């Protein structure tokens, strides 16, 4: 008689040794794929997540990712570890796919204990590129710092992990299966999310707009996760012509591209929208679907302005008809939304960079809309930023106002004034030199206030510190702010999501009330402030670069 393969899956306890570099950054743990492929590397981190949690026995976990290289392998490992650690049920997106906002939606809808999202967001994908993993809590949002710190602490002392010895799960077929004692449900990756979108926006009006025969849009999914969502929403549910969604198939290497929806990396879309016979509306999303870029015909909407415009027009959208409880923006995001909040008589919260800081404000109903200058916008409908949600929001506003993107934004500036804004990134800087640059600014901080640079006088200068108004937790060293007496600002931060060297981010903002100047190119309007930033930080000297690698 032939011996059958393992009939009852066995829980194995595997001895391991800590890796000392598993500190989650702005958004989870991100490393190059070969780092994750080291024996026990992913397993250690997953076990450290589970070991930092309490009370998940028999509960539901949501698992999915942006489809990048290593997604499927990682998911198989995580499923077996979830089973061995005592979860009762795992919901996993078909093909291992769940966009970040869809994962947040599925966690909330199913009252799951939490979720594991596999993504390195906008970073390139492939065998030698980036991979990432992060844990989201039961409200659907990224784990707060006290959880990520506990995970990191566990990862430094871990000695073993638990995994079920079992065959791989078929991720491609929707349905229910068992892994040991644990139920596995492979779910349609798009359904729950699409339903949620339909409950928020006026789909009838958007459908009218997209089928009226003259309005044309292009959605570029950059060969990343939003493809299936965008096809379903825009082409199938809202009737836009086939071909409206381009690069709509998620590829393991994102087609070799850099799935970051900005003017540099979404160049095909930018060329289309700034070319002859351009469509009326263009949008792009990032690797895991939480970012968005909005373009009109020959017109780019700065993410900071986008947040302000959505806030000012929120009552045109069914979900926000009754108004907003408040707005929240990350510290480096421009103060355009503060002006809208002031007019609406609501609070505008200023948080550190990273979506995790919005969770408490949303849960406590202190804020309804949130945004970051880094092409992230979202609301209380989930606990992540949400790219396609922002696109639908814009379409809903356009459908109601019957104006072009450019008209809507320039009208906004007429009412509120324009916050000129730009971010300059210096990528791949030597880490030591980047730290020296920061130390050099720190050493000047005590004497900067009151100093004048041309017509600008420094009103304050600090390293941003945030006290969460809900739980009182304090986050320090969140970026250097130099504020001027006229409300202009210069902000310096080092990125917390990169995987190679350091990235310096310089954020510059000024305010222009006079509509006669609103047409200016931000790089021209901000020239003096950019020069001041270089004078203070000696960016060229420390980065050894003549100019930024990305300007947005
Ligand atoms: C960047 C963005 C930040 C965003 C994060 C995750 O982080 O600046 O706004 O929340 O990606 O998408 P950074 O690399 O600046 O730490
Ligand atoms: Zn992302």
**What is the predicted pLDDT for the residue at 5?**
52
The residues, ordered by sequence, that sit 6+ positions from 502 with a Cβ below 8 Å of its Cβ are 429, 430, 431, 433, 434, 435, 494, 495
130 forms bridges with which residues in the sheet?
32
DSSP assignment string, 25-38: BTTBEEEEHHHHTS
User: Domain of 184?
Assistant: 10-189
354 in a domain, yes or no?
yes
Query: Which ligand has an atom closest to residue 260 CA?
Result: 2
456 forms bridges with which residues in the sheet?
453
Mean pLDDT of the residues in the chain:
95
DSSP state letter for 514: -
Inter-residue contact 358 to 468 (CB < 8 Å): no
Among 136, 168, 189, residue at a domain's last position: 189
- pLDDT above 60 (res 59): yes
What is the spatial distance between Cα 250 and Cα 260, in angstroms, rounded to a whole number?
Answer: 14
- pLDDT above 90 (res 535): yes
- pLDDT above 60 (res 76): yes
Q: Are residues 286 and 183 in the same domain?
A: no
pLDDT tens digits along 372-399 = 999 999 999 999 999 999 999 999 999 9
524 in a domain, yes or no?
yes
Q: Are residues 540 and 484 in the same domain?
A: yes
| Minimal-distance CA residue to ligand 1 atom 1 | 497
5 in a domain, yes or no?
no
Q: Which among 453, 351, 320, 346 has a CA at the least distance from the CA of 145?
A: 351
4 in a domain, yes or no?
no
What is the spatial distance between Cα 225 and Cα 538, in angstroms, rounded to a whole number?
Answer: 39
Q: Are residues 409 and 448 in the same domain?
A: no
Average of per-residue pLDDT across 53-61 = 97
Using CB distances shorter than 6 Å, the residues near ligand 1 are 26-27, 121, 330, 353-355, 372, 374, 376, 495-497, 505
**Residue written as tokens 């997106």?**
93
Q: Which among 266, 260, 267, 268 has a CA at the least distance from the CA of 287?
A: 260
Q: How far is CA 198 from CA 253, 380, 395, 524, in A?
A: 31, 15, 13, 41
pLDDT tens digits along 399-431 = 999 999 999 999 999 999 999 999 999 999 999
**What is the predicted pLDDT for the residue at 25?**
85
- pLDDT above 50 (res 544): yes
Report CA(261)–ligand 1 centroid distance (Å): 13
Q: Which among 292, 324, 243 has a CA at the least distance from the CA of 394?
A: 292
Q: Are residues 369 and 263 in the same domain?
A: yes
CATH number reported for the structural domain that contains residue 481 in this entry: 3.30.310.50
**What is the predicted pLDDT for the residue at 222?**
96
Q: Are residues 121 and 149 in the same domain?
A: yes
Q: Are residues 465 and 331 in the same domain?
A: no
Inter-residue contact 508 to 526 (CB < 8 Å): yes
pLDDT tier for residue 1 given thresholds of 50, 70 and 90 = very low
pLDDT tier for residue 7 given thresholds of 50, 70 and 90 = low
The residues, ordered by sequence, that sit 6+ positions from 447 with a Cβ below 8 Å of its Cβ are none
Number of domains in the chain: 3
141 in a domain, yes or no?
yes
Q: Hey, what are 119's tokens?
A: 């993504």
Indicate the SS3 state at residue 277.
coil
The residues, ordered by sequence, that sit 6+ positions from 28 with a Cβ below 8 Å of its Cβ are 117, 119, 132, 133, 134, 135, 142
510 forms bridges with which residues in the sheet?
420
pLDDT tens digits along 494-518 = 998 777 789 999 999 999 999 999 9
Query: Which ligand has an atom closest to residue 492 CA?
Result: 1
DSSP assignment string, 393-430: HHHHHHHHH---HHHHHHHHHHHH-EEEEEEEEEEEE-
CATH number reported for the structural domain that contains residue 387 in this entry: 3.40.120.10
Give the sign of the dihedral formed by CA 410, CA 416, CA 417, CA 418: negative
- pLDDT above 80 (res 71): yes
Inter-axis angle of helices 431-448 and 527-537, nearest 10 = 100
Report CA(54)–ligand 2 centroid distance (Å): 28
- pLDDT above 70 (res 146): yes
- pLDDT above 90 (res 180): yes
Q: Are residues 378 and 343 in the same domain?
A: yes
Indicate the SS3 state at residue 439.
helix
**What is the predicted pLDDT for the residue at 4?**
47
Q: Hey, what are 541's tokens?
A: 């000297």
The residues, ordered by sequence, that sit 6+ positions from 301 with a Cβ below 8 Å of its Cβ are 293, 294, 295, 309, 405, 409
Among 140, 166, 189, residue at a domain's last position: 189
Interior/surface letters 303-320, b for 16+ CB within 10 angstroms, e for the rest: bbbbbbbbbbbbebbebb
Q: Are residues 34 and 80 in the same domain?
A: yes
pLDDT tens digits along 201-236 = 999 999 999 999 999 999 999 999 999 999 999 999
Q: Are residues 220 and 367 in the same domain?
A: yes
3 in a domain, yes or no?
no
pLDDT tens digits along 237-273 = 999 999 999 999 999 999 998 999 998 899 999 999 9
Ligand 1 pocket test, pick from 261, 302, 495, 550 with the greatest ligand atom count within 8 Å of Cβ, gives 495
pLDDT tens digits along 77-115 = 999 999 999 999 999 999 999 999 999 999 999 999 999
Q: Are residues 271 and 392 in the same domain?
A: yes
2 in a domain, yes or no?
no
Q: Which atom of ligand 1 is nearest to the CA of 373?
A: 9
Among 189, 215, 232, residue at a domain's last position: 189
pLDDT tens digits along 23-51 = 998 789 999 999 999 999 999 999 999 99
Indicate the SS3 state at residue 475.
strand
Q: Are residues 369 and 244 in the same domain?
A: yes
Q: Which atom of ligand 1 is nearest to the CA of 355?
A: 10
Q: Which atom of ligand 1 is nearest to the CA of 496?
A: 16
The DSSP H or E segment spanning 487 is: none
Report CA(354)–ligand 1 centroid distance (Å): 6
What is the spatial distance between Cα 62 and Cα 142, in angstroms, rounded to a whole number?
Answer: 13
1 in a domain, yes or no?
no
pTM of the model: 0.94
What does the radius of gyration of the chain's CA atoms come to, in whole angstroms?
Answer: 23
Q: Are residues 51 and 118 in the same domain?
A: yes
Inter-residue contact 456 to 486 (CB < 8 Å): yes
pLDDT tens digits along 312-324 = 999 999 999 999 9
- pLDDT above 80 (res 277): yes
- pLDDT above 70 (res 3): no
The residues carrying an active-site annotation are: 121
Inter-axis angle of helices 41-52 and 145-155, nearest 10 = 130
């Amino acid at each position: 008689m032939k011996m059958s393969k393992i009939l009852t899956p066995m829980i194995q306890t595997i001895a391991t040794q800590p890796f000392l570099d598993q500190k989650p950054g702005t958004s989870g743990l991100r490393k190059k794929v070969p780092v994750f492929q080291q024996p026990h590397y992913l397993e250690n981190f997953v076990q450290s997540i589970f070991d930092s949690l309490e009370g998940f026995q028999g509960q539901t976990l949501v698992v999915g990712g942006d489809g990048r290289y290593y997604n499927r392998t990682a998911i198989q490992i995580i499923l077996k570890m979830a089973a061995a650690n005592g979860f009762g049920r795992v919901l996993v997106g078909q093909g291992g796919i769940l966009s970040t906002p869809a994962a947040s939606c599925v966690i909330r809808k199913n009252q799951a204990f939490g979720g594991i999202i596999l993504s390195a967001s906008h970073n390139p994908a492939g065998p030698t590129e980036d991979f990432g993993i992060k844990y989201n809590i039961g409200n659907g949002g990224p784990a707060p710092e006290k959880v990520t710190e506990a995970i990191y602490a566990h990862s430094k002392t871990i000695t073993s992990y638990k995994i079920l010895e079992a065959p791989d799960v078929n991720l491609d077929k929707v349905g229910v299966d068992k892994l040991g004692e644990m139920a596995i449900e492979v779910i349609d990756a798009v359904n729950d999310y699409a339903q949620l979108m339909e409950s928020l926006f006026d789909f009838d009006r958007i459908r009218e707009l997209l089928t009226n025969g003259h309005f044309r849009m292009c959605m570029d999914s950059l060969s990343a996760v939003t493809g299936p969502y965008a096809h379903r929403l825009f082409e199938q549910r809202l009737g836009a012509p086939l071909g409206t969604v381009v690069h709509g198939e998620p590829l393991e290497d994102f087609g070799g591209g850099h799935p970051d929806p900005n003017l540099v990396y979404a160049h095909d879309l930018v060329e289309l929208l700034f070319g002859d016979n351009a469509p009326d509306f263009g949008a792009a999303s990032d690797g895991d679907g939480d970012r968005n870029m909005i373009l009109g015909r020959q017109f780019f909407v700065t993410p900071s302005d986008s947040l302000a415009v959505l806030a000012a027009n929120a009552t045109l959208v069914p979900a926000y008809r009754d108004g907003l409880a408040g707005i929240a923006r990350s510290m480096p995001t421009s103060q355009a939304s503060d002006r809208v909040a002031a007019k609406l008589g609501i609070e505008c919260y200023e948080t550190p960079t990273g979506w995790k800081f919005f969770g408490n404000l949303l849960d406590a109903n202190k804020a309804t809309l949130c945004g970051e200058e880094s092409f992230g916008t979202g609301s209380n409908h989930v606990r992540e930023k949400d790219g396609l949600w922002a696109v639908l929001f814009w379409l809903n506003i356009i459908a109601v106002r019957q104006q072009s993107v450019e008209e809507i934004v320039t009208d906004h500036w007429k009412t509120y004034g324009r916050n000129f804004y730009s971010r300059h990134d210096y990528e791949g800087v030597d880490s030591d030199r980047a730290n020296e640059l920061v130390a050099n600014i720190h050493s000047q901080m005590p004497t900067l206030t009151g100093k004048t640079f041309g017509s600008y006088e420094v009103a304050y200068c600090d390293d941003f510190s945030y006290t969460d108004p809900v739980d009182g937790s304090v986050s320090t060293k969140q970026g250097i702010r130099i504020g001027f007496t006229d409300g202009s600002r210069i902000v310096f931060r080092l990125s917390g999501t990169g995987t190679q060297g350091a990235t310096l981010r310089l954020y510059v903002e000024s305010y222009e009330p006079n509509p006669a100047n609103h047409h200016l190119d931000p790089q021209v309007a901000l020239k003096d402030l950019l020069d001041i930033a270089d004078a203070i930080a000696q960016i060229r000297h420390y980065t050894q670069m003549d100019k930024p690698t990305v300007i947005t």
